[in-house]
Chain A
């Protein structure tokens, strides 16, 4: 079945440093989504990427979808303490049927002031 691997599992940075998390699917995806979960909270949608090679930006966050639609990355420039949380990617299976949405294990980001 479809698997979505996400690395790293943990990332500790100093405030102001950059951060990147990577997501890799075992199968081609119809779309990939990114979510952020603050400690004690629930996942909140950040963005969805659909097209091969797509790049989207939200202020300091840059999201990329690979050419083969099997991998993705989230890059945060100049982290702030408000960026603390767990970042999940979620891949929607491709093909003719409406595939499952499979979440990666998540990357726990800690930002030291």
Chain B
């Protein structure tokens, strides 16, 4: 099976812009989670989707939003970008049988 894919892999934006990141889970996986990884804060949970419904949400401002489509692909959107949003954004998918998170390679977002 193909692994989790994320696009784009790298992104450079300026403050105030918005960005949309995409994640395609492993075939058959219905759960998709998003994480923000920074050197100082480690892996911070953003949100988790299951069958197009947000199941859990982390402690991020409303500028961070996401959605999941019927084919389980997921997108996250960050509006009004701030310098502090520069990070590696990781997507992970899991099946209904196990709780194992399969991570994608991430999208490296740089906000200038």
Contacts and interface: CB of A to CB of B under 8 A. Distances in A.
B76 to A, nearest CB: 16
B104 interface: yes
B90 A98 contact: no
Nearest to A6: B42
Given A100-B56, A101-B33, A106 B42 contact: yes
A28 interface: no
B101 interface: yes
Q: How large is the interface on B (under 10, 10 to 19, 20 to 34, 35 or more residues)?
A: 20 to 34
B103 interface: yes
Interface string B48-83: 100000011011000000000000000000000000
Interface stretch (A18-26, A40-48, A61-69, A74-82): A40-48
Interface residues of A, number: 21
Given A43-B103, A100-B58, A88 B48 contact: no
B103 A99 contact: no
Contacts of B106: 42
Per DSSP, chain A at the interface is strand
Contacts of A95: none
A85 interface: no
A103 B100 CA distance: 13
A50 B35 CA distance: 23
Contact of A45 (B90, B100, B104): B100
Interface of A: 1, 31, 33, 35, 42-45, 48, 88, 90, 92, 98-106
Which 7 pairs of residues, A with B, have the shortest CB-CB distance?
A103-B43, A42-B103, A105-B42, A100-B56, A45-B100, A43-B103, A106-B42
